[in-house]
Amino acid sequence: MSAEPVIRATIALRKALAGRSFPAPADFVYQPLDYAWASHEAYLRRYAASGPKKVLFLGMNPGPFGMAQSGVPFGEIAAVRDWMGLEMPVGRPDKEHPGKKVTGFACHRSEVSGRRLWGLFQERFGKAEAFFADHLVHNYCPLLFLENTKQGRNVIPEELPAEVMAPVNKECDKLLRVMVETLGVSTVVGVGGYAETRAREALDGLLVKYAKVPHPSPANPVANRGWSAAATKALVEQGVWA
């Protein structure tokens, strides 16, 4: 299977979102499809092209210590480097928050959401190749938004005005549809409610099933009470996993 249609659509999304301005609290905008493109392209070429995907796990947008550093969705550095076998040079955003600098694979901070998500897949499937044989992970929106506070608060897309996000979502929808149609995805699993909602709207009219797992972020109280077990239970109950 060729990943070329997905790669072309991803490049088109990157170009469509280039240079867009956003209102506060999105004071800093990181676009890892730009400065970490080598990593993202390597991820797609190795794992999107490894065969049809029955299941697509869909996240919301990059985290500051995950995809923003590695270029891979939920890209906890250890998972990307040691489990997936990917490690590529990563550049820097044009405008960085001093508390959320991009250091690529030299980043020592852990992306808790990514550690939990990829940890579950590693626990269940063992090798990355076994998981990616018929699964893939994708972030709906490739942009990270940070507020100009001392810590650089992570701003989720839902916090931004609907009229600002509507044209962004329109472009993100295009890539998601190409990905689902090209890879033969039969089930889209929203990692959190926002991702599921966006998937249902973007993929309206396609013969796709939908499921949802709690978001693994430490900001979600459910995720801090045994997220792996809760996610597995949800996937089994919804018929995604046996």
Query: 22-75 pLDDT, tens per residue?
Result: 999 999 999 999 999 999 999 999 999 998 999 999 999 999 999 999 999 999
**Of the candidate ranges 48-52, 132-136, 205-209, 226-230, the one whose mean pLDDT is the lowest:** 48-52
User: How far is the C-alpha of 147 from the C-alpha of 199, rounded, in Å?
Assistant: 26
pLDDT value of position 23: 98
Q: What is the pLDDT of residues 157-207, one digit of tens each?
A: 999 999 999 999 999 999 999 999 999 999 999 999 999 999 999 999 999
Cβ atoms of 43 and 86 closer than 8 Å: yes
**What pLDDT, on the 0 to 100 scale, is given for residue 14?**
98
Backbone angles phi, psi at 50, to 5 degrees: -85, 10
Q: Which two tokens stand for residue 56?
A: 């697509």
Q: How far apart are CA 87 and CA 92, in angstroms?
A: 16
- Residue with tokens 């507020």, as numbered in its chain: 147
Q: How confident is the model at residue 138 (pLDDT cuts 50, 70, 90)?
A: very high
**What is the predicted pLDDT for the residue at 150?**
94
**Was domain 4-237 assigned CATH 3.40.50.970?**
no
Mean pLDDT of the 135-145 span:
99
From the list 197, 194, 190, the residue with the least C-alpha distance to 212 is: 190
Q: For residues 69-94, give the mean pLDDT.
A: 98
For β-strands 187-191 and 209-213, DSSP reports them as: parallel
Torsion of CA 155, 161, 163, 164, to 10 degrees: -30
Cβ atoms of 76 and 115 within 8 Å: the answer is yes
Across the chain, where does the E strand assignment appear? 28-30, 55-59, 135-139, 144-146, 154-155, 187-191, 209-213
Cα separation of 161 and 22, whole Å?
9
Whole-number Å distance between alpha carbons of 45 and 77? 19
pTM of the model: 0.97
Residue 1 has pLDDT above 90, yes or no: no
To the nearest whole percent, how much of the chain has pLDDT over 70?
100
- Residue 199: its pLDDT value, please? 99
Name the average pLDDT for the chain: 97
Q: What percent of the chain has pLDDT over 90?
A: 98
Q: How far is CA 106 from CA 41, 85, 87, 98, 111, in A?
A: 19, 15, 10, 16, 13
Amino acid at 27: D
Smallest CA-to-CA distance from 16 within 171, 138, 169 is with: 171
